[in-house]
Chains A and B, each alone.
Chain A
Amino acid sequence: DAGVIQSPRHEVTEMGQEVTLRCKPISGHDYLFWYRQTMMRGLELLIYFNNNVPIDDSGMPEDRFSAKMPNASFSTLKIQPSEPRDSAVYFCASKLPQTGAEQYFGPGTRLTVT
């Protein structure tokens, strides 16, 4: 398996623009997670899905952030409008349904908002 796939790997955009980050989980994994990593706050869970349904979005910072999972093999994280403080590395992870199962992380998308 190719592992969790994220695109793009790097994104540079101007403040106010819409940004869409994409993730393809490992086939057969029922859970998908979006995390954000910054120097100041470390790794934070933003939202996660189980069987394409959002389970907990309490980590989503603001209404400017939205996430969707239209099918089992694709998810998007959208920021509209983007702001410089959104600059971070965004990770997608997926796992099997068993409690405590390993979360497999993608390589991340490094977002820079100028």
Chain B
Amino acid sequence: GEDVEQSLFLSVREGDSSVINCTYTDSSSTYLYWYKQEPGAGLQLLTYIFSNMDMKQDQRLTVLLNKKDKHLSLRIADTQTGDSAIYFCAEILTNSGGGADGLTFGKGTHLIIQP
């Protein structure tokens, strides 16, 4: 079955870059996502990447995709205290009927910002 793996914690200094890594197993995934969850809140989509892309940049966020290794990363430049949250990697889940609508999430990476 599908599985998405992430490190549980990442600690960085304010102003440095944060790199959050993720590995996935479903090679047929067409979309890969990064969601952000702040305390007591739901999930917010940060960015996504199509599987035929290697890189996507959106302001301070850079997503890198290595399809061969099934490795996805999220880089946050100039990390700020407001970036403190849990970051989830997710892939589209292919269901038993062949449809692909639900998401399989990693357990999330807690990003801790040091002053």
Contact = CB atoms under 8 A, between A and B. Distances in A.
Do they bind each other?
Answer: yes
A31 B20 CA distance: 29
Nearest to A45: B102
Given A43-B88, A55-B95, A107-B41, A31 B105 contact: no
Interface centre among B43, B99, B107, B108 (most CB of A within 10 A): B43
Contacts, number: 63
Interface string A26-45: 00000101000000001111
A30 to B, nearest CB: 10
B51 to A, nearest CB: 10
B57 interface: no
A99 B88 contact: no
B12 interface: no
B101 interface: yes
Interface string A1-37: 0001000000000000000000000000001010000
- Specify which of A4, A50, A100 lies most central, judged by the most chain B CB atoms within 10 Å of its CB: A100
Interface of B: 30-31, 40-45, 48, 50, 88, 92-93, 95-97, 99-108
How many A residues touch the partner, as a band? 20 to 34
A33 B88 contact: no
Given A45-B104, A55-B95, A56-B97, A100 B30 contact: yes
A55 B42 contact: no
Main DSSP-derived SS at the B contact region: strand
A48 B93 CA distance: 12
A42 B96 CA distance: 21
Contact of A48 (B40, B41, B96, B102): B102
10 contacts: A4-B42, A31-B101, A42-B106, A43-B107, A56-B96, A58-B96, A99-B101, A100-B30, A104-B45, A106-B42
Nearest to B96: A58
Contacts of B93: 45
Given A4-B42, A33-B102, 16 more contacts: A33-B103, A43-B43, A43-B107, A48-B102, A55-B95, A55-B101, A56-B97, A58-B95, A93-B42, A99-B30, A100-B50, A100-B92, A102-B45, A105-B42, A107-B42, A108-B41
